[in-house]
């Protein structure tokens, strides 16, 4: 049974490609999903990519990942900077967690410099565009290789 890595995306990322392309680029979330699936085949892992605009849905998906996912790659989007509830949920997950931001949040407004999720994340990738998801997948795959 191949390991499964859950790739979770927070609010507004459904509009990737249309939303502020000068900040987030022109690739869509479907493009990201296809690139993650292709890399997953190369690494011998399954990739399940999901997106929600709702905090509670993301929390339910993190609970679902418990005991089911080898690791989590998460771009919590704006919830990064606001959500203790997401942090608490991630603290119930036993595998590696890599936090991804498409933009370099540290080059942006001060309110984007703090991340609740970083208190749990084993690694953080920011400012590498959508390639950050692929870097994160490689990291989870290498951390969970038997
Ligand atoms: C983001 C950065 C967040 O500050 C922002 O709210 C997002 C996307 C990123 O991928 O760069 O929605 O997580």
pLDDT value at residue 1: 67
Q: What's the token pair of residue 44?
A: 């011998």
Model-level pTM?
0.97
Report whether residue 136 contacts ligand 1, using a CB cutoff of 6 Å: no
Burial class (CB in 10 A: 0-12, 13-18, 19+), 42: exposed
And the tokens for 143?
């951390």
Query: CB of 102 closer than 6 A to ligand 1?
Result: yes
CATH superfamily of the domain spanning 3-143: Dehydroquinase, class II (3.40.50.9100)
In this predicted structure, what is the pLDDT of residue 146?
A: 72
In angstroms, the CA 37 to CA 98 distance is 17
pLDDT value of position 36:
98
For a pLDDT cut of 70, what percent of the chain falls above it? 99
Block means of pLDDT (10 residues each) for the chain, 146 residues, are 92 97 97 98 97 98 97 98 98 98 98 98 98 98 91
Residue that is written with structure tokens 């990942």 in the block: 65
* Domain ranges (residues) in the chain: 3-143
Q: Residue of the nearest CA to atom 9 in ligand 1?
A: 101
Phi first, then psi, for residue 132 (nearest 5°) are: -55, -35
Q: Pairing state of beta strands 3-9 and 45-51?
A: parallel
């Amino acid at each position: 049974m191949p390991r499964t890595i859950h790739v979770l995306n927070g609010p507004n990322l459904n509009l990737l490609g249309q939303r502020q392309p000068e900040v987030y680029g022109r690739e869509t979330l479907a493009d990201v999903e296809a690139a993650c699936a292709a890399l997953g085949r190369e690494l011998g892992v399954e990739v399940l990519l999901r997106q929600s605009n709702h905090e509670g849905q993301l929390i339910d998906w993190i609970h679902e990942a418990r005991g089911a996912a080898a690791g989590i790659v998460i771009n919590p989007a704006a919830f990064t900077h606001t959500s203790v509830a997401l942090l608490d949920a991630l603290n119930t997950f036993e595998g590696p967690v890599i936090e991804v931001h498409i933009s370099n949040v540290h080059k942006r407004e001060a309110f984007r410099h703090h991340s609740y999720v970083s208190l749990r994340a084993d690694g953080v990738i920011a400012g590498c565009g959508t390639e950050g998801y692929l870097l994160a997948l490689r990291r989870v795959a290498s951390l969970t290789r038997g």
